[in-house]
Amino acid sequence: MGLTRSATGAGAAAALQPLAGDGAERVVALAGNPNVGKSTLFNGLTGLRQHTGNWPGKTVAVAQGCCQWNGRSYTLVDLPGTYSLLAHSAEEEVARDFLCFGGAQGAVVVCDATCLERNLNLVFQTLELEPRTVVCVNLLDEAARKHISVDLEALSAYLGVPVVGCSAGREEGLEELMEAVDGLLDEGEAPKPRQVRYPPQVEFAAASLRPLLESRLQGRLPARWAALRLLEGDPTLPPSLARQAGWDPAADRELQQALTSAREQLTHSGIEDLSGQLASSLVQAAHQAARAAMPQGEAAPQGERLDRLLTARATGIPAMLLLLAAVLWLTIEGANYPSQLLSDGLFWVQDRLTDLFVWLQAPEWLHGALVLGVYRVLAWVVSVMLPPMAIFFPLFTLLEDFGYLPRVAFLLDHGFQKAKACGKQALTM
């Protein structure tokens, strides 16, 4: 009953093609947000024996490896770390397309126990696509150090799918995870996980499209999920369906007429920002699931009120501007003193090098090239650039560790979508 790792047979440069289980081998997708320990879990399950390749048409690395459990061979596919499956980036598109068309018979979504609510957003999106999903709550050891507890049984009952806790860095809980995956895939009927409830107008519009989509998709994708994505106007889904399923929604006149009618009904009912409504419903579902995972009688996290302050429409943007301004001020002001010290020290060394070249009676051109050229430029760059970098990047790392950067992306996503971009691109600006 132990876990056995084995290497895959393909080379490292092989392109990752859609996989198909043959009954003896099962394909399981491994999804999760960045920095939740997904790759550590993947390496623990596969024993660091895997190969990487690109999903066809995308230059995004996807790792693939094998393990044995209960006499069966499992192919695990480590999808790119992503916060969403709404395909606003190449990583999100690859993760979504593999879950849709990659031949996976099940999925494991890895969550960080120290910030569970943020991770549950991806869980609900995955459950809409793949009901045979196991939720792996990782980093329980880190959560314990921070006095955070998660009621795994309550979360499983709320979501309607298996939930397993583990600490991948210590290789704790790996066998329990594979046992849950094996049992879920052995069940004849797929579970019926809790669905995100969208506004009634949105549910009605999606339901009006389902008969058309069910006849065209023929069970390849959940019709409700496809209806929501097409209503939202996801530009990446029709090309993927045309490439992978042989059906192009953009060329289907009957479907396009139905989409136009459904969107008009949504507009008349007061829903103009459909993407915002869908995102808001997902956030609310994740919040309720996180509350269900709290042990009975335990108070809400102290940071919940602060979180509402940082993401509310009225206070989120001002708080973000103040916080980023503080980071900028600390970077500039904090860098002045060490920059001056570095400059004084490095240019003192330059003077000594000049004295050495004079003592050696070196040619003037050699002194100019090596000391006034190479060394002086290097000294300028180090004294000017190193101190602010040494301050700015640790501060930004702290913001990422506290989970604030995804909230910045959430705050600015609506505005960036108007420019055909996504909120994550705000972080580069």
pLDDT at 165: 94
Domain identity same for 173 and 235: no
Domain identity same for 242 and 323: no
pLDDT tens readout for residues 138-150: 999 888 888 888 9
Whether residue 220 is contained in a domain is answered as yes
Whether residue 178 is contained in a domain is answered as yes
Residue with the bigger pLDDT between 159 and 16: it is 159
Domain identity same for 257 and 370: no
Q: Residue 303 and residue 287: Cα distance in Å, rounded?
A: 13
Q: Residue 98 and residue 115: Cα distance in Å, rounded?
A: 26
pLDDT at 129: 92
Q: Dmax over Cα atoms in the chain, in whole Å?
A: 90
36 has pLDDT over 60: yes
| Torsion angle (degrees, nearest 10) of CA 31, 35, 38, 39 | 120
Residue with the bigger pLDDT between 314 and 110: it is 110
Q: Residue 155 and residue 184: Cα distance in Å, rounded?
A: 17
Domain identity same for 216 and 133: no
- Of the chain, the percentage scoring pLDDT greater than 70 comes to 88
Domain identity same for 56 and 148: yes
Domain identity same for 97 and 123: yes
Instruction: Supply the angle between the helices 223-232 and 200-217 in degrees, to the nearest 10.
Output: 120
Domain identity same for 281 and 337: no
Question: Residue 57's pLDDT band (boundaries 50, 70, 90)?
Answer: very low
Whether residue 151 is contained in a domain is answered as yes
pLDDT at 54: 44
Q: Residue 132 and residue 103: Cα distance in Å, rounded?
A: 13
Whether residue 54 is contained in a domain is answered as yes
Domain identity same for 64 and 165: yes
Domain identity same for 210 and 182: no
Whether residue 305 is contained in a domain is answered as no
How many structural domains does the chain have? 3
Domain identity same for 181 and 90: yes
Whether residue 191 is contained in a domain is answered as no
pLDDT tens readout for residues 164-195: 999 988 889 999 999 999 999 998 888 999 99
3-state secondary structure of 14: coil
pLDDT tens readout for residues 235-255: 888 998 888 888 889 888 999
CATH code at position 21: 3.40.50.300
pLDDT at 171: 87
Average pLDDT of 295-322?
Answer: 71
Q: Residue 194 and residue 227: Cα distance in Å, rounded?
A: 18
Average pLDDT of 58-79?
Answer: 82
Residue with the bigger pLDDT between 415 and 160: it is 160
10 has pLDDT over 50: no
Residue with the bigger pLDDT between 278 and 428: it is 278
- Of the chain, the percentage scoring pLDDT greater than 90 comes to 46
Spatial CA neighbour of 293 closest among 34, 108, 119, 109: 119
- The burial class, CB within 10 Å (0-12 / 13-18 / 19+), for 40 is middle
Question: Residue 56's pLDDT band (boundaries 50, 70, 90)?
Answer: very low
pLDDT at 4: 67
Domain boundary among 186, 214, 233: 186
pLDDT at 12: 32
8 has pLDDT over 50: no
Is residue 279 a contact partner of residue 413, using CB atoms and an 8 Å limit? yes
Domain boundary among 186, 215, 238: 186
Whether residue 92 is contained in a domain is answered as yes
Domain identity same for 226 and 95: no
Whether residue 428 is contained in a domain is answered as no
Question: Residue 18's pLDDT band (boundaries 50, 70, 90)?
Answer: low
Question: Residue 270's pLDDT band (boundaries 50, 70, 90)?
Answer: confident
Question: Residue 58's pLDDT band (boundaries 50, 70, 90)?
Answer: very low
pLDDT tens readout for residues 88-126: 778 888 889 999 988 899 999 999 998 898 899 999 999
DSSP 8-state symbol, 56: T
Average pLDDT of 35-54?
Answer: 74
99 phi/psi in degrees, rounded to 5 = -65, -30
pLDDT at 307: 67
Domain span holding position 26 = 4-186
Q: What is the pTM of this model?
A: 0.72
132 has pLDDT over 90: yes
pLDDT at 234: 86
Domain identity same for 397 and 291: no
Domain boundary among 267, 297, 327: 297
pLDDT at 118: 86
pLDDT at 200: 93
86 has pLDDT over 70: yes
Lowest-pLDDT choice from 104-118, 214-228, 306-320, 342-356: 306-320
